[in-house]
Amino acid sequence: MFKYLFAKNEDIPAGSAAVFFGFSSIVWFVVGTAIGSFNAAKLAFPDFVMGSEILSFGHMRQVHVLAVILGWISMAFAMAMMYITPALGNTKLWSEKLGVWNCFLWNVGLSLGLFLLWLGVTSGREYSDLPWPIDIVVIVGVLVPLGINVWMTIKTRRVQGIYTTNWFFGAATFMVIIVFSVGNAPEFFQLTGLTEAYLTWWFAHNVLGLWITPVAAAIAYYVVPKVTGNPLYSHRIGHLHFWSVVVFYSTPAAHHLMSAPLPEWLKSFASVEGVLILVPAIAFVSNLLLTMTGKWRMFVENIEIKFTITGVMMAIPLNMQGGFQQTRAINWYVHGTGWMVAHAHLALLGFSTFLEAAAVYYGLQTLLRRKLYSLGLANFHFWMLLIGFTTYWVAMTIAGLIQGAGKIYEVPYIDVVIAEHPYMIARWVGGTMVFLGNCVWLYNMWMTARAGTVIPAGRLPHELAYER
């Protein structure tokens, strides 16, 4: 990678940036889930690794969260953008060199930011924990170069229209820059009080709603038609999805603070807009599942489709929860409980991770021109993720309902802690399965790059049979 940083743009092989991003994302996924498993062990067994400030739960929790969001998920997005955007425009990435630099700065900036967070250098704001100098690195070194590359690649495309996936990519890279800049304004400009509290959750909401969810969906819009060979069921429904994300998903930020003393009109508005999340959700899920018509066999036989469609189907419970848990009628019961932790993992480890994993599996095979090393290991990875995640989600949902009941019946808090203990152990077991699965994935992808069957020119990876 380093030799390409100072090479001429023409001398860098096409796809290099995407390959670097792909492997970086997998490494960050392994790191992020390792820390997640470590943290979960501490919640089950509080004296597990003690006496050290930097290894305490309060220092490690935010490192886990940001390693998976900015490392795994966002780098997998960058990887997807850097091969899908040119592929859909029948062109090359606008600047391969910018892409390589982007990947380099991203890894350096994120490592530095997480190291500082680990030491306790934090802004004290959930999801925007990074201190503001690192926020500037993220905006200038990570988000803006990515955006420029995506927009310019779309602009220099050699086809007339712009496919659904690229609307999402182009719009999301723009929106995430706005979200990151405005969301960190409390640190840049020393904003205080409820403005700070509200902007913290405005950021947290919109980084999910305008970055993670639409980009993950955009990946599915590419992978399913590409691998199955079916055209997208309906571009009009795709339009409905896109516009309803922009209009409905960008507005309900205040529903994260339903019990805080924010202006009541803001909370009511956010709550109503929050239910409308079902519009893009239903448009997305129905469009993708109908695209599968006649090809459902591939859900079983093809690893990329298996991951993608599992992720798409997880969008159903995700948005059913998301739409309704934030209404006043339900929020008072589940707010601040493990239910929310389960929901957040359903969004990031369920829905979005499965879609990104498909993009990384498919993209790395395409770019390296190598067939996946082992289908068996890929299936093992899939089931470790799915069973591990499900264990986690079920355990945390039950724990959340216990906490909710404890909250309204005014049970002494320690009794809630005692009741939750078995679910904390289950959470740790589930999270550890995800981590172990990812280690296998990293090995499988590394071996694919070194020893995978070479894909002949003009063929697609999924057209070849596995040799192992």
Partner 1 sequence: MAFREYKVGARMFGLAFGSSMFITLYMPAVDIAGVSATTSALERQLAFGRVGGFSYEDPFLRGHGKPVTVDIVEDPKTGAAIEPTRAYVYPAEVPFPSGVRHPRILGELPSELSVSKGRMTDADEAQGAVFVVRETTRGGISVPYIENATATRGWTPAATLAKADDKNQAFIGKGKIMFVREGCWWCHTLLPEQTQDWQYFGAPPMLGDFNGESPTAFGSDRKAPDLTHVGSRNSSREWMILHFFNPRLVQPHSIMPRYDYMWGDVDADGKPIDYDAWRAAYNEYEAGKTIYPPEVPMPAADSEARALIDFVLNLK
Give the whole-angstrom CA distance, residue 196 versus residue 192: 5
Least Cβ distance, residue 340 to partner 1 (angstroms): 7
Binding-site member from 33, 62, 291, 310 for partner 1 (CB under 8 A): 62
Compare residues 189 and 446 and give the one whose CB is closer to partner 1.
189
Cα 122 from chain centre: 22
Contact yes or no for 347/213 (Cβ under 8 A): yes
Does 132 help bind partner 1 (rule: CB under 8 A)?
yes
Q: How crowded is residue 379: how many other Cβ atoms within 10 Å of its Cβ?
A: 12
Binding-site member from 97, 226, 335, 381 for partner 1 (CB under 8 A): 335
Binding-site member from 13, 58, 229, 376 for partner 1 (CB under 8 A): 58
Here's the x/- map for partner 1, 391-420, by CB under 8 A: it reads as ------------x---xx-x--xx--xx--
Does 69 help bind partner 1 (rule: CB under 8 A)?
no
Q: Which of residues 26-55 bind partner 1 (CB under 8 A)?
A: 42-44, 46-47, 50-53
Tell me phi and psi for residue 50, to 5 degrees: -130, 175
Does 57 help bind partner 1 (rule: CB under 8 A)?
yes
Binding-site member from 2, 10, 261, 465 for partner 1 (CB under 8 A): 261
The sign one gets for the Cα dihedral 224, 226, 232, 238 is: positive
Compare residues 10 and 47 and give the one whose CB is closer to partner 1.
47
Least Cβ distance, residue 266 to partner 1 (angstroms): 5
Compare residues 14 and 178 and give the one whose CB is closer to partner 1.
178
Q: How crowded is residue 333: how many other Cβ atoms within 10 Å of its Cβ?
A: 16
Least Cβ distance, residue 408 to partner 1 (angstroms): 5
User: What 3-state class would DSSP assign to 172?
Assistant: helix
User: What 3-state class would DSSP assign to 181?
Assistant: helix
Contact yes or no for 16/4 (Cβ under 8 A): yes
Does 151 help bind partner 1 (rule: CB under 8 A)?
no
Compare residues 50 and 465 and give the one whose CB is closer to partner 1.
50
User: What 3-state class would DSSP assign to 457?
Assistant: coil
Does 196 help bind partner 1 (rule: CB under 8 A)?
yes
Here's the x/- map for partner 1, 219-258, by CB under 8 A: it reads as ------------------------x--xx--xx-xx-xx-
Compare residues 10 and 264 and give the one whose CB is closer to partner 1.
264
Least Cβ distance, residue 363 to partner 1 (angstroms): 25
Give the whole-angstrom CA distance, residue 431 versus residue 436: 9
Contact yes or no for 439/30 (Cβ under 8 A): yes
Compare residues 45 and 446 and give the one whose CB is closer to partner 1.
45
Q: Which residues pair with 89 in a beta bridge?
A: none
Q: Which of residues 153-182 bind partner 1 (CB under 8 A)?
A: 162, 167, 171, 175, 178, 182
Residue 373, CA distances (Å) to 385, 412, 413, 446 in order: 19, 54, 51, 9
Closest alpha carbon to 144 in 120, 177, 121, 166: 177
**Which residues are CB-neighbours of 61 under 8 A, at least 6 positions away?**
39
Q: What is the total count of residues that contact partner 1 (CB under 8 A)?
A: 78
Q: Which of residues 106-125 bind partner 1 (CB under 8 A)?
A: 119-125
